[in-house]
Structure 1
Amino acid sequence: MGARLFRVLAVPVILILLWQGFSMLGYVRPAILPSPVAIIERLWLYLLPGQSFAESTGVLDWLQSSELLSDMFASLHRVVLGFVVGAGLALPLGLLMGTDRRVEGLLDPLVQFLRPIPPIAYIPLAILWFGLGDPPAIFLIAIGAFFPVLINTITGVRNVDSIYVRAATNLGAGRMTMFRRVILPAATPYILTGMRIGIGTAFIVVIVAEMIAVNSGLGYRILEAREYLWSDKVIAGMIAIGTLGLAIDVGVNRLNNHLLRWHRGIES
């Protein structure tokens, strides 16, 4: 365990020490690249609650007085709403397209035309349609989550082993029973993979959307710091984004593993 931890941390620690050393020797301008110590100090100030606990009305109010926690909550709130909208539309549509060739034939050309367009390209339309604030951000996030879930759901349904279908048919399974007991369970690994990709895409999109259309969240705070040339706060915000994104991915991956305990190749 100790040797493994050393291998994981050795290179990052050496790079950080070199970075700090070059900063202390004056080889790196603080305005361009602040030292690790300066970034940690800024991150701590960013995290620190803006009021004392006695001045707050409760624990939640005290935590939300922290600029960092408030921004993280705002970004996470938008990601969850946008992902629910995008995945909620993509999942039934993907199941329908996967099980019905006629529906797929009608909708697939439109899907393949829209899929390569990045969500960022919709920003002008989103602002025109919804104005500024949360609605355009949620719209963009929903687009970012929609296509990974849709494509993976269709692929999952299409890749159901024909042996299972024939066996269920020979046992007299009807259309709904076939869908509920054979197709949906067999496609679940693909669907959950699509959801993991979709929520990762949604988190990327929310940062871009917050830089354009809203005045809160981690993306907005990074853009604000850039305008004031606060390089340390920019990097502190990037660290916060990476930490939150990693936490989301780990959480979704563990949920997937828990839901797929029955699936071959997944250890319980």
Structure 2
Amino acid sequence: MSRPSRITPAALARGALVPLVVVAVWQALSSSGMVNPTVLPSPGAVLVRWWHYLLPADPYDPAQSGWLAWALSGEMLTDAYSSLYRVVLGFVVGAGLALPLGLLMGTSERVYGLMDPLVQVLRPIPPIAYIPLAILWFGLGNPPAVFLIAIGAFFPVLMNTIAGVRHVDGIYLRAARNLGAGKLTMFVRVILPAATPYILAGARIGIGTAFIVVIVSEMIAVNAGLGFRILEAREFMWSDKIIAGMFTIGFLGLGIDIAMNRLNTHLLRWHRGLDS
């Protein structure tokens, strides 16, 4: 059985090379005065703002009064929690609806013929296009954001589930029939395991899409979250806080993707074993 590759110091060094070069060029541009610091602050200024964004001020510390109490907002943890809550809830709703529908469409030609035209019409519409309807139907707050995230997660999971079920190797199906497997046994013991790699790939894409959609929805429909805080920083020309928020989004997205990749590796041990 093949094993997932381990992260070695050499691999970490190779992965950090390009980001370090980008930061070095960024710092050089900022130090040379070629770029207005209001438009593009230095990496150090962004790091300081990110640290202030993370740490709350201590109300009992006299040294953290006045300007410092305003700078040490401690909003990041609250904003990150709000965004992750919406991502998880919207993804669960979207994937929870897409998975059974995808399994039905994949296994039944009749259901596929009925639903596929509607799916193909709705699938190209980006979730952002639903923003006016989401606000009209649900108002402001979490409901429209969760609705938009659910749409963003729905179609990747749906299409990959359909593809996984419809591309089960015919050898497996014929072997199961020859062994006397019924329809339920065929579905549970053959079709579903064979389609699992496709389903998990769709889930990984879907949760990535959900994280993109949550930032857009938070800029419009809610008053908390990373997207809202970036839009707020734009109003005050706090470009360092904008970039700090963007990096926070990137690191959270990276963490979610790593977690999904580890989950896929764990659940598909048997599949990789067959391929090795």
Aligned residue identity for 2:51? W
Cα 1:243–1:267 shift into 2, 3 Å: farther
Q: In 2, distance between residues paired with 1:259 and 1:99?
A: 23
Distance in 2 (CA, whole Å) between partners of 1:7 and 1:53 is 45
1:70 deviation in Å? 0.7
Is the counterpart of residue 135 in structure 1 residue 139 in structure 2? no
Post-superposition offset of 1:66: 2.5
The gaps in structure 1 that reach 5 residues or longer are 55-64
Partner of 1:61: none
Determine the C-alpha separation between the residues in 2 that align with 1:5 and 1:177: 45
Q: What corresponds to 2:67 in structure 1?
A: none
Matched, 1:201 2:209: yes
For 1:132 and 1:94, locate their aligned partners in 2 and report how far apart those are by CA, in whole Å.
31
Equivalent in the alignment of 1:80: 88
Number of the residue aligned with 2:44:
37
Take 1:156 and 1:140, find their aligned partners in 2: how far apart are those partners? 25
Q: Aligned pair count?
A: 258
In the alignment, which residue of structure 1 is the partner of 2:54? Answer: 47
Alignment of 1:259 with 2:267, yes or no, is yes
Distance 1:34 1:219 in 2: 20
Alignment of 1:18 with 2:25, yes or no, is yes
* Letter aligned with residue 231 of structure 1: S
- Equivalence for 2:75: 67
**Residues 261 and 267 of structure 1 are in contact (CA less than 8 Å); yes or no, is this contact kept in structure 2?**
no
Q: Secondary structure at the match of 1:247?
A: helix
Q: Which position in structure 1 is the counterpart of 2:246?
A: 238
Inter-partner Cα distance in structure 2 for 1:162 and 1:53: 70
| Match 1:173 to one of 174, 181, 198 | 181
State the 1:267 CA deviation.
8.7
Provide the identity percentage.
72
Q: Deviations over 1:46-99 (max 9, x none)?
A: 000244699xxxxxxxxxx83101100000000000000000000000000100
Change (3 A) 1:43 1:180: same
| Structure 1 residues 254 and 178: alpha-carbon distance in aligned structure 2, compared to 1, 3 A threshold | same
Specify the code of the residue in structure 2 equivalent to 1:29: N
What SS class does the counterpart of residue 262 from structure 1 fall into?
helix
Structure 2 residue 112 is matched with structure 1 residue 104: yes
Q: How far apart are 1:232 and its partner, in Å?
A: 0.3
Counterpart of 2:227 (choices 201, 207, 219) is 219
Alpha-carbon deviation of 1:16?
Answer: 1.8
Counterpart AA for 1:23: S
Q: Match of 1:46, as an amino acid?
A: Y
AA aligned opposite 1:42: R
1:43 maps to a residue whose letter is W
- Structure 1 residues 11-32: Cα deviation after superposition (integer angstroms, max 9, x where no partner): 3323322322332232211111
> What SS does the aligned partner of 1:31 have?
coil
Q: What is the distance in 2 between the residues matched to 1:128 and 1:154?
A: 32
- Give the structure-2-normalised TM-score: 0.89
Match of 1:34, SS state, is coil
Please name the residue that 2:198 is paired with: 190
Q: CA RMSD in A?
A: 1.9
What TM-score comes out, normalization by structure 1 length? 0.91
**Counterpart pick for 2:121 among 113, 116, 119:** 113
Q: 1:193 to 1:266 in 2, by over 3 A?
A: farther
Query: Which amino acid letter does the alignment assign opposite residue 55 of structure 2?
Result: L
For residue 26 of structure 2, give the secondary structure of its aligned residue in structure 1. helix
The 3-state SS of whatever aligns with 2:125 is coil
Helix, strand or coil: the match of 1:212? coil
Report the counterpart of residue 62 of structure 1 in structure 2: none
Q: Unaligned 5+ residue runs, structure 2?
A: 1-7, 62-72
* CA displacement 1:227-263 (0-9 Å, x = unmatched): 1000000000000000000000000010011000000
The answer to whether the Cα contact below 8 Å between 1:120 and 1:140 also exists between their aligned partners in 2 is yes
